[in-house]
Amino acid sequence: KTYRVAILGATGAVGTELLELLESRNFPISELKLLASERSVGRALKFKGENLVVEPVSDRALENLDLVLASAGGSTSKKWAPVAVEKGAVVIDNSSAFRMNPEVPLIVPEVNPQAAASHQGIIANPNCTTILLAVAIWPLHQVKPIQRIIAATYQSASGAGAKAMAEVKTQAAAILQGQEPVAEVLPYPLAFNLFPHNTPMNNFGYCEEEMKMVNETRKIFGTQEIRISATCVRVPVLRAHSEAINLEFATPFSPDTAREILSHSPGVKLVEDWRANHFPMPIEATGRDEVLVGRIRQDISHPCGLELWLCGDQIRKGAALNAVQIAELLVEKNLLKSAQAYISQ
Ligand code: A2P
């Protein structure tokens, strides 16, 4: 069986990666539509050697589709995802618009694939930082429940889109030529700098990105019991995020046991060469499917604490790959049926 697929936001950082992954993973496609804003009219992108012309998203463009992979921002998803569902498609949405909606499954295929069965047309792809964390710590949580997570993130420019990535390069070039860097997409110069994540703050002093890690991790893990606190920071890296993670359990968790578990966990690659001081790095995570994990060690400040360090490609596993894996899961489980099909069952 093959499917009629559209990428909404096809010209963006995640959209172009979705296009590449649908091709390289040979997703069963009978027809592929590339949708973006009016700004992209006339652009063409290559898929399987063919030039596909980008169309502006509209009611008509969303007709006769089985699957829409959306990555065009929250307001675009809020507007168009319900339209696509109403017209019979299943939407896998990369924005935060529907993630915390109790009727919308929020899925990391390595963690909670079973949640896909209850979808009613929209499935949400989690926040990038949350996905990388979830893949790395779920196997440990399975063995011994995690009680508390303290995270510090080092997030790449790609999380703010293709324009932000281009801006960092331009800023770096300007600085190297002795000029002032210009920040238009990002709030401050990121090249040779870093700043706390630029999403709105709540009354407790946590930004939206930090609260996504708290709320989404709990939803994906299916528990409200885990206590989580995060500090999210943007760093001048192009497309892979890093995270320093402290986990607390009820009883000690030996680093060797954690290492053994993570050495054969799906979606994880252990990168630990203590002698050479070689651990996960964004440049080595870039373009890779796995979350790289290393520096697993006992927390010397707490007998039941475990420290680890991870890096993962934000555009790939943090966004596009996870979305394509959800699509593959739907195909495999015969769940790529429109909401209408469920209602009429
Ligand atoms: P466009 O290139 O036409 O602006 P990124 O996250 O890399 O910034 O990409 C955002 C993606 O979402 C792009 O493909 C962009 O298209 C698309 N997009 C942004 N706003 C809209 C909109 N209002 N309607 C449709 N697509 C949009």
Strand order in the sheet with 29-36: 44-47, 50-56, 29-36, 3-8, 67-70, 90-93, 122-124
Distance, in Å, from the CA atom of 316 to the CA atom of 240, rounded to the nearest integer, reads 9
3-state secondary structure of 176: helix
The Cα–Cα gap between 171 and 282 comes to: 20
The C-alpha atoms of residue 262 and residue 293 are separated, in whole angstroms, by 8
The residue whose CA has the least distance to atom 19 of ligand 1 is 72
Handedness of CA 9, 13, 14, 19 (dihedral sign): positive
Q: How far, in Å, from the CA of 32 to the mean position of ligand 1? A: 17
Quick check: do 3-97+320-343 and 129-314 share a fold? no
For ligand 1, atom 4, the nearest C-alpha belongs to: 37
Catalytic site residue from 119, 128, 197, 311? 128
Mean pLDDT confidence for 161-183: 98
Which atom of ligand 1 is found nearest the CA of 39?
A: 3
The residues facing 70 across adjacent strands are 8, 93
Domain definitions of the chain by residue range: 3-97+320-343, 129-314
Q: What percent of the chain has pLDDT over 70?
A: 98
- Report the predicted TM-score, pTM, of the whole model to 2 decimal places: 0.97
Percent of the chain with pLDDT over 90: 97
Q: For ligand 1, which residues put their CB under 6 angstroms from it?
A: 9-13, 15, 36-37, 39-40, 57, 72-73, 76, 161-163
Q: What is the pLDDT of residues 22-68, one digit of tens each?
A: 999 999 999 999 999 999 988 999 999 999 999 999 999 999 999 99
Interval between CA 94 and ligand 1 midpoint (Å):
12
Kindly report the protein residue whose alpha carbon is nearest to atom 27 of ligand 1: 37
79 alpha carbon – ligand 1 mean position (Å) = 13
Interhelix angle 13-24/162-176, rounded to 10 degrees, is 120
- pLDDT tens digits, one per residue of 108-155: 999 999 999 999 999 999 999 999 999 999 999 999 999 999 999 999
- 128 catalytic per annotation: yes
Task: State which ligand 1 atom lies nearest to the alpha carbon of 160.
Answer: 6
The CATH classification number of 3-97+320-343 equals 3.40.50.720
- Check if the beta carbon of residue 44 is closer than 8 Å to that of residue 19: no
Is 207 part of the annotated catalytic residue set?
no
Which of 225-255 are b and which e, b meaning 16 or more Cβ less than 10 Å from the residue's Cβ? ebebebbbebbbbbbbbbbebbbbbeeebeb
Which residue is closest in CA terms to ligand 1's atom 16?
36
Compute CA 258 distance to the chain's CA centroid, rounded to the nearest angstrom: 24
Whether the complex's predicted ipTM is more than 0.95 is answered with: yes
Architecture of domain 129-314: 2-Layer Sandwich (3.30)
Backbone angles phi, psi at 139, to 5 degrees: -60, -30
